[in-house]
Amino acid sequence: MDDRPRYMISVAAELVGMHPQTLRIYEAKGLVRPKRTAGNTRLYSEHDIERLKLIQRLTSEIGLNLAGVERVLHLEDELQRMRSRIDRMEQEMRRAIDEVHRQYRRDLVLYRPPQAPAPRSN
């Protein structure tokens, strides 16, 4: 998901079908955290837009209040952190396994059965 800030609050509100004041309320409650320009203008990323759409689904379709939405978002964030951690651990494990394979290939001595001595010719 793209985290680059790009949409001003009016555009973000239009994209998700909400009033800009609703986005300000969600920001005040910590449900979404748009970036700010040097002039303090809010800029929303694609990730923020998707999060706002999720908030909208949770409130309108499921009927959660903002406290419930906050809990769901917290769990979603935690799940994403755990997925990232698992991905990093899998990469580390693959690197470790590859290193073990390289090491034993380097240390491996090919077994050759003893050969009978060649017959002597007199």
Sign, CA dihedral 18-56-62-69, equals negative
Structural domain contains residue 63: yes
CA distance 110 to 22: 71
- What's the CATH code of the domain at 17? 1.10.1660.10
36 in a domain, yes or no? yes
DSSP 8-state secondary structure symbol assigned to residue 31 = S
- Is 51 part of a structural domain of the chain? yes
pLDDT at 96: 96
Q: How many domains does the chain have?
A: 1
pTM score above 0.95:
no
Tokens 């050969």 belong to residue: 115
- Structural domain contains residue 33: yes
Q: In the predicted model, what is the mean pLDDT of the chain?
A: 93
Cα Rg of the chain, angstroms: 29
Is residue 96 one of the residues assigned to a domain? yes
Full residue range of the structural domain in which residue 102 is found: 7-107
**pLDDT one-digit tens code per residue, 54-101:** 999 999 999 999 999 999 999 999 999 999 999 999 999 999 999 999
Model confidence at 1, pLDDT cuts 50, 70, 90, reads low
Task: Enumerate helices (H) and strands (E) in the chain, giving the number of each.
Answer: 4, 3
